[in-house]
């Protein structure tokens, strides 16, 4: 497979090369037969093979040194005329064939695939395989790129892959235009690569996502696969063979909405922790509990209705296409008559949840005109319409691609976050509110980055070493600023996991133990500082003791010598 | 029957026979080994090599490698000949003749292997 491009060249160049060899042979043989002439004009024997080949070699390539070794006889010149045309034509034929081959679509495809494979083989850092680079995929890709996570992209549409090249990625991302449903392409993209950490099946095609999930389960069962599914049957199918995470954007949004109705502070907290890092914090949503109108009763509408009713709201459902919607109401909600009929005067909120963006906006605008204080939830289907939805500025906007991207990034980059979110359900609103305030304070209006750090030899070597061999360290000590240790870093420690125990919101005096798994929230800049402290022994020394030494061996020996001579003289650096 | 197969067999057998013709005769007598025969053997051998390009099967690979061996031998023989005639000027002495002919003998062996593979391939083919 690797040298298939080479074989294609050989195969295609067969005819021109044979033509070249044959015509050279004819020309050389001819020259060795035609009699020559010496300097005095007397007949001389023909050229030898050696001279004939020499002459033809420089004539055929149009170098043309002249008549070497002696001036030719007229008979030789006659034959050389024939030779020139024969050989130059055959060279041109060979060159033209080669150029045509280089422009050949199939050949270029082979070259691209070869290059892609080589780059995958050379990947040294752990990477994720993103299948499908539509709205969701590119959102995930952008965020991976921002946090410096390597990834590989498989996308069916060649144009999308070319667009990917134009995006300003920090890293050079291997991307291939190929159908991810075919297992061969998955393998090509490094499914069995030792550094492949997980697969995201986020194509627009449900069946393809299912196929990818199955392929990953069978071909490399060890790595997690995250799949997007819109319909419950596909999701159930995926769950049946153990897909690790199935993200249904409709269900997820319905959960969020119900959570926002039932426990707004807790929802706000979840929003801060799972949002796309370093984006603006969204306005707080305070959806009212009471009577709602739901337009559109498809998969999305049903998911929302189920959750909202469980959260204690009542619903009027408008959808002319569904028999179990409210049959007394005529129309699809885009007209004022329909909305009045649905009882908009008594309603506190409306959900424009059809699968058509224009209709959704029309419903939302009409409803807002009829009743400006109404809480409006709109479903945005295409990311391309984002500008319209921003202009309308709904109270709550549901973008499926964003939900899937947020959730996959949160799951993949910080597995500990899932555990933290699970613990949230036992906390009350006041607790959540306090934490929301702390998080908002550290990040200057942006969504904080949430990350897990394990205190082991590879992720935090300096701290691990200190904990194992030198001294105990409390949580507050590593959270000091390494540029000025009188300041603390603006990071919130959320959770510490030790074996099977978890410690929620540990305080500064918490004693760390090697092997602890810590979950923090902070800005990216603070994360870099914290990583430096945890990994660099000199930085850690400064943070812990205020020592400001270089770690070089000579100075360390000198210091030890001096402190041995004058034991009362403690080095402070 | 396809023209491609005819040409393929033709060139492989022709390379072997031409080579054999040049090789035949007492090894140190230049008058028994004509340079035209060597040139013809070389050209046909190169063409046979090119014909084998691009076949990715195992047999195709062996075909190509034996052919490359024959080419190398014949090119070495041709260079030896050109060197003796044109560079050192010693001409076709018995020692030069015998080294040219023995090199072509090596090529002949490779060509015979090629022919044997061709025969085996044909016998294996049941269509």
| Residue A558: C-alpha distances to residues A513, A554, A561, B78 (Å) | 32, 6, 5, 75
- Distance between CA atoms of residues A153 and B58, nearest Å: 35
Is the same domain home to A154 and A40? no
When pLDDT is averaged across residues B12-23 and rounded to a whole number, the result is 94
The string of pLDDT tens digits covering residues A488-535 is 888 888 888 888 888 888 888 888 888 888 888 888 888 888 888 888
The order of strands in the sheet holding A175-177 is: A175-177, A150-155, A127-131, A196-201, A225-228, A245-247
- Distance between CA atoms of residues A544 and A553, nearest Å: 20
Q: Please list, in sequence order, all residues whose beta carbon lies within 8 angstroms of the beta carbon of residue A422, skipping any fewer than 6 positions away.
A: none
**pLDDT interval class at B49 (50, 70, 90):** very high
Q: Do the domain assignments include residue A110?
A: no
Domain coverage including residue A354: 270-413
Q: What is the mean pLDDT of chain B?
A: 90
Q: How far is A35 from chain B (nearest CA, A)?
A: 16
Is the same domain home to A502 and A406? no
CATH number of the domain residue A536 falls in: 3.30.70.1450
Is the same domain home to A394 and A279? yes
Q: Do the domain assignments include residue A262?
A: no
- A13 neighbourhood in chain B, CB within 8 Å: 53
Task: Work out the end-to-end distance of chain A between its first and last CA atoms, rounded to an integer number of angstroms.
Answer: 61
- Distance between CA atoms of residues B64 and B108, nearest Å: 15
Question: Are A21 and B47 a contacting pair at CB < 8 A?
Answer: yes
Is the same domain home to A443 and A547? yes
Contact B100, B80 (CB under 8 A): yes
Domain coverage including residue B38: 3-124
How many domains in chain B?
1
Last residue of a domain, one of A355, A387, A413: A413
Beta strands at A349-352 and A291-295: parallel, antiparallel or unpaired: parallel
The string of pLDDT tens digits covering residues B25-37 is 999 898 899 899 9
Is the same domain home to A433 and A517? yes
Residue A551, CA atoms < 13 Å, CB-side half-sphere? 8
User: Other C-beta atoms within 10 Å of A96: how many?
Assistant: 11
Q: Do the domain assignments include residue A338?
A: yes
Digits of tens for pLDDT over chain A (573 positions)? 446 777 788 888 888 999 999 999 999 999 999 998 888 888 888 998 999 999 999 998 888 888 877 889 888 999 999 999 999 899 999 999 999 988 888 888 888 888 888 888 888 888 999 998 888 888 888 888 877 788 999 988 888 888 887 777 877 788 888 888 888 888 888 888 888 888 999 888 888 888 998 888 898 888 888 888 888 888 888 888 878 888 888 888 888 888 888 888 888 888 888 887 777 887 777 788 888 888 888 888 888 888 888 888 888 888 877 777 776 677 777 888 888 888 888 888 888 888 888 888 888 888 888 888 888 888 888 878 888 888 888 888 888 888 888 888 877 777 788 888 888 888 888 888 888 888 888 877 888 888 888 888 888 888 888 888 888 888 888 888 877 778 888 888 888 888 888 888 888 888 888 888 888 888 888 888 888 888 888 888 888 877 666 556 676 677 677 666 654 444 443
**pLDDT interval class at B19 (50, 70, 90):** very high
Is the same domain home to A302 and A397? yes
> Quick check: B3 contacting A, CB < 8 Å?
no
The position carrying tokens 């050379």 is A122
**pLDDT interval class at B127 (50, 70, 90):** low
Q: Do the domain assignments include residue A395?
A: yes
* Residue to substitute from A16, A45, A50, interface B, most B β-carbons within 10 A: A50
Last residue of a domain, one of A43, A70, A103: A103
CB neighbour class for A333 (10 Å; exposed up to 12, middle 13-18, buried from 19): buried
* Tokens linked to A205: 């095609």
Q: How far is B89 from chain A (nearest CA, A)?
A: 13
* Tokens linked to A390: 């921003």
Q: Do the domain assignments include residue A255?
A: no
Question: Are A22 and B86 a contacting pair at CB < 8 A?
Answer: no
How many domains in chain A?
4
* Residue to substitute from A11, A25, A51, A98, interface B, most B β-carbons within 10 A: A25
Of B39, B53, B55, the CB nearest to A49: B39
CATH number of the domain residue A94 falls in: 1.10.287.70
- Distance between CA atoms of residues A279 and A269, nearest Å: 15
> Quick check: B75 contacting A, CB < 8 Å?
no
- Distance between CA atoms of residues B76 and A264, nearest Å: 88
The string of pLDDT tens digits covering residues A356-415 is 888 888 888 888 888 888 888 888 888 788 888 888 888 888 888 888 888 888 777 777
Q: Do the domain assignments include residue A256?
A: no
Confidence (pLDDT) at A552: 67
- Distance between CA atoms of residues B37 and B96, nearest Å: 16
Beta strands at A492-498 and A517-522: parallel, antiparallel or unpaired: antiparallel
Q: Do the domain assignments include residue A445?
A: yes
CATH number of the domain residue A294 falls in: 3.40.50.720
Is the same domain home to A289 and A377? yes
Of A14, A49, A51, the CB nearest to B51: A14
Confidence (pLDDT) at A571: 44
Dihedral angle over CA of B100, B106, B109, B114, nearest 10: -100
Is the same domain home to A235 and A173? yes
- Distance between CA atoms of residues A142 and A136, nearest Å: 10
- A24 neighbourhood in chain B, CB within 8 Å: 43
- Distance between CA atoms of residues A473 and A85, nearest Å: 87
> Quick check: B61 contacting A, CB < 8 Å?
no
User: Other C-beta atoms within 10 Å of B91: how many?
Assistant: 10
Helix or strand holding residue A350 (H, E): strand A349-352
Confidence (pLDDT) at A549: 60
The position carrying tokens 């052919």 is B67
Q: Do the domain assignments include residue A318?
A: yes
**What ipTM is given for this predicted complex?**
0.84
Dihedral angle over CA of B39, B40, B43, B44, nearest 10: -150
> Quick check: B89 contacting A, CB < 8 Å?
no
- Distance between CA atoms of residues B52 and B46, nearest Å: 10
Residue B115 has pLDDT above 90, yes or no: yes
**pLDDT interval class at B104 (50, 70, 90):** very high
- B51 neighbourhood in chain A, CB within 8 Å: 14, 18
């Amino acid at each position: 497979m690797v040298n298939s491009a080479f074989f294609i060249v050989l195969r295609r160049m067969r005819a021109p090369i044979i033509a070249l060899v044959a015509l050279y042979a004819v020309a050389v043989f001819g020259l060795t037969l035609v009699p020559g002439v010496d300097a005095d004009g007397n007949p001389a024997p023909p050229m030898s093979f050696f001279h004939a080949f020499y002459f033809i070699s420089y004539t055929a390539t149009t170098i043309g040194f002249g008549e070497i070794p002696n001036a030719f006889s007229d008979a030789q010149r006659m034959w050389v005329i024939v030779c020139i045309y024969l050989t130059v034509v055959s060279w041109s034929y060979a060159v033209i064939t080669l150029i045509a081959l280089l422009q050949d679509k199939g050949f270029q495809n082979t070259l691209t695939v070869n290059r892609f494979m080589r780059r995958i083989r050379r990947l040294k850092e752990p990477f994720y395989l993103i299948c499908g680079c539509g709205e969701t995929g590119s959102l995930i890709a952008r965020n991976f790129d921002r946090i410096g996570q390597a990834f590989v992209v498989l996308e069916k549409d060649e144009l999308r892959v070319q667009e990917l090249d134009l995006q300003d990625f920090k890293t050079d991302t291997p991307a291939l235009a190929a159908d991810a449903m075919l297992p061969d392409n998955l393998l090509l993209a490094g499914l069995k690569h030792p550094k492949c950490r997980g697969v995201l099946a986020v194509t627009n095609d449900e069946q393809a996502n299912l196929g990818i999930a199955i392929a990953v389960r069978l071909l490399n069962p060890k790595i997690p696969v995250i799949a997007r599914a819109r319909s419950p049957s596909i999701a159930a199918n995926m769950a049946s063979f153990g897909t690790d995470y199935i993200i249904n954007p409709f269900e997820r949004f319905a959960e969020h909405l119900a959570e926002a109705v039932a426990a707004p502070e807790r929802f706000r907290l979840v929003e801060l922790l799972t949002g796309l890092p370093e984006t603006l914090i969204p306005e707080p949503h305070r959806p009212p509990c009471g009577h709602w109108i739901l337009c559109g009763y498809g998969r999305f509408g049903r998911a929302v209705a189920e959750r909202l009713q469980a959260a204690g709201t009542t619903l009027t459902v408008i959808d002319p296409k569904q028999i179990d919607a409210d049959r007394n109401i005529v129309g699809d909600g885009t007209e004022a008559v329909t909305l009045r009929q649905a009882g908009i005067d008594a309603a506190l909120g409306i959900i424009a949840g059809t699968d058509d963006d224009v209709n959704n906006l029309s419903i939302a605008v009409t409803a807002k005109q009829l009743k400006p204080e109404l809480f409006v939830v709109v479903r945005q289907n295409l990311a391309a319409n984002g500008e319209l939805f921003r202009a309308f500025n709904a109270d709550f906007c549901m973008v499926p691609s964003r939900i899937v991207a947020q959730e996959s990034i949160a799951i993949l980059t910080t597995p500990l976050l899932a555990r933290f979110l699970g613990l949230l359900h036992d906390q009350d609103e006041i607790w959540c509110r306090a934490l929301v305030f702390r998080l908002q304070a550290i990040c200057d209006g942006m969504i904080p980055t949430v990350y897990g750090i394990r205190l082991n030899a590879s992720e935090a070597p300096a701290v691990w070493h200190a904990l194992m061999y030198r001294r105990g360290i409390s949580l507050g000590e590593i959270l000091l600023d390494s540029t000025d240790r009188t300041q603390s870093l603006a990071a919130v420690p959320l959770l510490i996991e030790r074996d099977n125990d978890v410690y929620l919101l540990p305080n500064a005096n918490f004693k760390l133990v090697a092997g602890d798994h810590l979950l923090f929230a902070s800005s990216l800049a603070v994360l870099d500082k914290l990583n430096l402290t945890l990994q660099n022994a000199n930085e850690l020394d400064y943070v812990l003791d205020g020592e400001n030494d270089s770690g070089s061996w000579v100075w360390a020996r000198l210091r030890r010598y001096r402190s041995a001579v004058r034991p009362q003289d403690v080095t402070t650096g | 029957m396809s023209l491609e197969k005819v040409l393929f067999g033709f060139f492989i057998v022709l390379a072997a026979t031409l080579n054999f013709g040049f090789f035949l005769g007492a090894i140190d007598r230049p008058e028994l080994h004509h340079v035209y025969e060597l040139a013809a053997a070389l050209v046909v051998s190169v063409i046979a090599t090119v014909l084998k390009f691009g076949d990715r099967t195992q047999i195709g690979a062996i075909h190509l490698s034996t052919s490359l061996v024959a080419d190398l031998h014949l090119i070495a023989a041709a260079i030896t000949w050109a060197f003796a005639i044109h560079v050192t000027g010693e001409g076709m002495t018995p020692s030069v003749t015998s080294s040219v002919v023995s090199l072509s003998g090596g090529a002949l062996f490779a060509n015979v292997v090629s022919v044997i593979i061709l025969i085996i391939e044909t016998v294996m083919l049941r269509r």
